Amino acid sequence: MSAPTTSAVDRVVTGYLDHLTVERGLAANTISSYRRDLRRYTEFLDAAGVRGLGEVAESDVAGFLAALRQGDDDHPPLSATSAARAVVAVRGLHRFALLDGLVPDDVAHEVRPPSPARRLPKAIPVESVVALIEAAGALEGPRGLRDRALLELLYGTGARISEAVGLAVDDLDRGQSVVRLAGKGGKQRIVPVGSYALRAVEDYLVRARPALAAAGRGGVRGGALFLNARGGSLSRQSAWAILRTAAERAGLTAEVSPHTLRHSFATHLLDGGADVRVVQELLGHASVTTTQVYTLVTVDRLREVYASSHPRALT
């Protein structure tokens, strides 16, 4: 049986998890993660001789975070992301206890979750983008024209794969050389389409899409721009498979992810002198802070060029 001190905390934990499940409607996987994190927290408090949440000090919560990051004989060290999730669970528990009148203070409020290391977006050089697009277009027949048009459009507009496969034919204004993209939350934006992408899409629409549409029963519903071999709308998974296959042909497998062409679009624009707020609008970012991560990439590039080019850059 659990010791009285542990069971007292456990009762609050159970109430908190019930609150998250019933009143907040959190997903089962999230509840399971919180339960696991809070079980470890109660074990930590019990080992420290803490008899209830009312006796917990801010130093105990901070000590728990340190223990998560350091690990012990029974637990490996947690990454910043996993430790942050556990601290969020603990902070929520103490906030819940305060609001329920079970404790006089929220001692976890000032213990901040660790910030995960910022992952810089991976862009590939322009010549690698060209090789990728050429590899996609090397396939004979309508599918090759479609694949080339898809990759040209992804790189030429910075669209997410989900945005590209969601396009209807009417979303592309060939006269104005722009496309209407529906981003996160259904927010729409108008993005210019470059001549290479426009030409590739024109070739696909004239020489390939009619053949793909004919494979469907009664034509394709909704006028989707990109079709699969059965005449239906191309799925996100199929579009990613097209990108991955082209990367294999071009020998770029290790460098390519679903967002590679989007990252390359942004990085190459900034390298070329584009204003970060213009790139923000093109990418559909709600905040310029999200876009500014790309400026870190270009600064790294500037350092490389400086170090290799300036006669007194290196000792």
Q: Is 285 a catalytic residue?
A: yes
Question: Does the active-site annotation cover 184?
Answer: yes
Question: Are 138 and 82 within one domain?
Answer: no
Buried b (16+ CB within 10 A) or exposed e, 65-77: bebbeeeeeeeee
Domain check: are 294 and 154 in the same one?
yes
Determine the pLDDT at residue 217.
62
Q: Which pLDDT belongs to residue 115?
A: 77
Is 294 a known active-site residue? yes
Q: What is the dihedral of CA 76, 116, 182, 146, to 10 degrees?
A: -60
Which pLDDT does position 315 carry in this prediction?
52
Task: From the candidates 184, 187, 277, 303, give the one annotated as an active-site residue.
Answer: 184
Residues in the chain: 315
**pLDDT less than 50: residues of the chain:** 1-6, 218-222
Which of 69, 249, 259, 301 is the catalytic position? 259
- Identify the active-site residue in 40, 160, 263, 268: 160
Q: Tell me, what CATH number does 137's domain have?
A: 1.10.443.10
Classify 284 in phi/psi space as left (phi over 0), alpha (psi -120 to 50) or beta.
left
User: What CATH number does the domain containing 69 carry?
Assistant: 1.10.150
In a domain, 111, yes or no: no
In the set 143, 146, 262, 263, the catalytic residue is: 262
| pLDDT at res. 45 | 93
The first and second tokens of residue 32, run together, are 């399971």
224-240 pLDDT, tens digit each: 999 999 999 999 999 99
244 and 285 inside one domain: yes
Split into its structural domains, the chain has a count of 2
DSSP run (H or E) holding 246:
helix 236-250
